[in-house]
Amino acid sequence: MDSVIALFNSFVNDWPNLSLAIGLILLPLLPLIISVAMYVWWERKVIGWMHVRMGPNQVGPLGLAQAFADVFKLLFKEITVPEKASTFLFYLAPLIALVPAMAAWAVVPIGDKMAWSNANAGLLYLLAMTSLGVYGIVLAGWASNSKYAFLGAMRAAAQVVSYEIAMGMAIVSVLILTGSLNLSDVVQAQAGSKGFLEWYWLPLLPMFVIYFISGVAETNRAPFDVTEGESEIVAGFHVEYSGSAFAIFFLAEYANMILVAFLSSVLFLGGWLSPLQGWGLGILSAPGWWWLFAKAFVMAFLFLWFRATFPRYRYDQIMRLGWKVFIPITIAWTFVAGCLAFFGGVTIGPGGTP
Amino acid sequence: MTTQLVIFYFFATVLVASALAVITLKNSVHAALSLVLTFFTAAGIWILAEAEFLGLALIVVYVGAVMVLFLFVVMMLDIKPESMREGFIRFLPVGVIVALVMLVEMLSLIGVKALQAQALPPNPALADGSNTAWLGKALYTQFLLPFEIAALILTVALIAAVTLTLRKRSGVRTQKPSEQVQVQRNERLRVVKMASEGKPGESA
B92-103 pLDDT tens trace: 888 899 999 999
Q: Name the residue in chain B with its Cα closest to that of A181.
A: B132
- Distance in Å, alpha carbon of A120 to nearest chain B alpha carbon: 7
Q: What is the pLDDT of residue A354?
A: 33
Q: Which of A16, A44, A76 is the last residue of a domain?
A: A76
- Would A142 be classed as within a structural domain? yes
Lowest mean pLDDT among A12-26, A218-232, B1-15, B59-73: A12-26
Chain A residue numbers with beta carbons less than 8 Å from the beta carbon of B5 are 7
pLDDT at B152: 95
Q: What band does A4 get if pLDDT is binned at 50, 70 and 90?
A: low
Range of the domain at A68: 27-76
The domain boundary, picked from A76, A99, A133, lies at A76
The pLDDT of residue A240 is 80
As for how many domains chain B has, the answer is: 1
Q: If you count them, how many residues does chain A have? A: 354
Average pLDDT estimate for A193-216:
84
- Flag whether A18 is in a domain: no
The alpha-helical segments, DSSP class H, found in B116-143 are: 124-128, 131-137
Helix axes A122-143, A87-103, angle to 10 degrees: 160
3-state secondary structure (DSSP) of residue B200: coil
pLDDT of residue A351: 46
Name which residue leads in pLDDT, A175 or B88. A175
Residues A117 and A186 in one domain: yes
> Could you tell me which residues of chain A have a Cβ less than 8 Å from any Cβ in chain B?
7, 10-11, 14, 18, 89, 119-121, 124-125, 127-128, 131-132, 134-135, 138-139, 142, 150, 153-154, 157-158, 160-161, 164, 168, 181, 314, 316-317, 320, 324
pLDDT at residue A61 greater than cutoff 80: yes
What pLDDT sits at residue A185?
A: 81
Both A48 and A88 in one domain: the answer is: no
* The last residue of a domain, from among A76, A103, A134: A76
On whether residue A3 sits in a domain, the answer given is: no
Model confidence at A353, pLDDT cuts 50, 70, 90, reads very low
Which residue stretches of B78-143 are H helix?
81-85, 88-115, 124-128, 131-137
Residues of A in contact with B137 (CB under 8 A): none
Q: Is the domain of A51 the same as that of A199?
A: no
For residues A116 and A232, membership in a common domain is answered with: yes
CA–CA separation, A239 vs A247, rounded Å?
Answer: 12
**Domain count of the fold of chain A:** 2
Say if B56 is an interface residue toward chain A (CB within 8 Å).
Answer: yes
pLDDT at B203: 59
Residue B162 domain-assigned (yes or no): no
Q: Does some domain include residue A349?
A: no
Residue B29: which CATH number?
A: 1.20.120.1200
Task: Report chain B residues whose CB lies below 8 A from the CB of A18.
Answer: 3
**Closest Cα to residue A298, out of A219, A212, A182?**
A212
Are A161 and B69 inside 8 Å of each other by CB? yes
**pLDDT tens per residue across span A115-134:** 677 777 788 888 888 888 88
Domain hosting residue B60, numbered range: 1-80
User: Which residues, at least 6 apart from A168, have a Cβ–Cβ distance to it below 8 Å?
Assistant: A127, B60
Over residues A63-80, the pLDDT tens digits come to 888 888 888 888 888 888
CB contact under 8 A, B68 and A157: yes
> B10 in a domain, yes or no?
yes
Q: Is the Cβ pair A154, B177 closer than 8 Å?
A: no
Instruction: With respect to residue B178, please indicate whether it lies within any of the assigned structural domains.
Output: no
- Residues in chain B with pLDDT < 70? 1, 78-85, 114-130, 201-204
**Whether B132 and A181 lie within 8 Å, measured CB to CB:** yes
